[in-house]
Structure 1
């Protein structure tokens, strides 16, 4: 789960509207993962996703005096992220057969901000605890795949291993984490979906 904010919402938003840096930091920490994971649904490039996430918070800071509540900040970031993705997909080169599908998803995205992203954050928190329990080499392979987005061949080259060894170790890590999530059926279902995303499995 996302760590609780040190200020109550009213105090936080007052300081945020006044341009207090620590308040912005707390708002950023509260929403950053949500925005990033939302953007990653539509962009294959981690770097581009990070850039768009940063741009959303830049736009937020420019309009800081206009937000009455934390919910309003979340709603603004949701719309800003969706619009930035839409513009990216319209103006950047990408596979033509995917573009209409992704643009359609953005146009029909639900109004409730970051619902799936909240589940992803919960999932990451649980995964982090389980990853620490993995054998050292398996943990290293998993983190290179998840944290850095490296593909098996890239991991194999970096670690001096066979590609198949990397694939086997990564698969074993996923299986162990699945077992650990057996008591969390909703998060387990999200994990099944995320297995196919390069953000996690390269």
Structure 2
């Protein structure tokens, strides 16, 4: 994936406390971390707050890391622990110790799959952002805003056939790029999630 920094120079600048480097790390990991936290706590607002707080903790230890994967691991571990603490807090009044253990086991069991899922969606969303402007616009209107082909055609002043052609072109471009990365199943995952939710 392309970033403004190469990983090595990004790490060096991050360890120096460079705000642009911190922003690059934030942009790289926040969307998938946020998705991960929201899934674990089943609360969008709380999940976003927990993910953001993990970056505050990261900022306080900016000079402690020797690789970008270590930064990523720190963020996921910190977020996982904060999610568990949040669930313990919210369940304390209503759950027995056995229930808390069950919750922890459930998090441990599903945390890895949520991480993988978040990373897969990040790859798909990266590919969506690389699409030509009209393709990207139509793809987002269909899959993010749930607009019908008729609505989109009217909004953009184009034919319904053009909407379907641009949608097919977008899927083909994403499919080709993910196939090169060995991640074609990511597209199916994305399309399934966005047709159900």
Q: Distance in 2 between matches of 1:189 and 1:118?
A: 14
Cα pair distance change 1:54/1:116, threshold 3 Å: same
- Distance in 1, matches of 2:143 and 2:195, equals 17
Determine the structure 2 residue equivalent to 1:37.
35
The 5-angstrom pairing of residues 110-149 of structure 1 reads 114-125=115-126, 132-133=137-138, 139=141, 142-143=144-145
Would you identify which runs of 4 or more consecutive aligned residues in structure 1 move more than 6 Å? Answer: 110-113
Partner Cα separation in structure 1 for residue 12 and residue 19 of structure 2: 12
Q: Please identify which structure carries the higher helix content.
A: 2
Unaligned runs of 5+ in 2: 147-166, 179-183
1:156-182: per-residue Cα shift (whole Å, max 9, x none)? xxxxxxxxxxxxxxxxxxxx79x9479
Quick one: which of 14, 26, 46 aligns to 1:48? 46
Q: Matched residue of 1:114: which SS?
A: helix
1:28 counterpart SS class: helix
Aligned counterpart, 1:108: 109
Contact 1:13/1:70 (<8 A) preserved? yes
State the structure with more CA Rg: 2
CA deviation map 1:10-50 (0-9, x unaligned): 22212211111111111111111121111122133221111
1:187 aligns with 2:189: no
Deviation of 1:108 (Å) = 3.4
Shift of 1:122: 2.4
Query: Per the alignment, in what secondary structure is the counterpart of residue 64 of structure 1?
Result: coil
Alignment of 1:64-79 (within 5 A): 64-79=62-77
Question: Residues 39 and 53 of structure 1 are in contact (CA less than 8 Å); yes or no, is this contact kept in structure 2?
Answer: yes
Q: Distance in 1 between matches of 2:111 and 2:37?
A: 14
Which residue pairs with 1:83 in the alignment?
Answer: 81
More contact order relative to length (CA 8 Å, sep ≥ 6):
1
Q: How much has 1:99 moved relative to structure 2?
A: 7.0
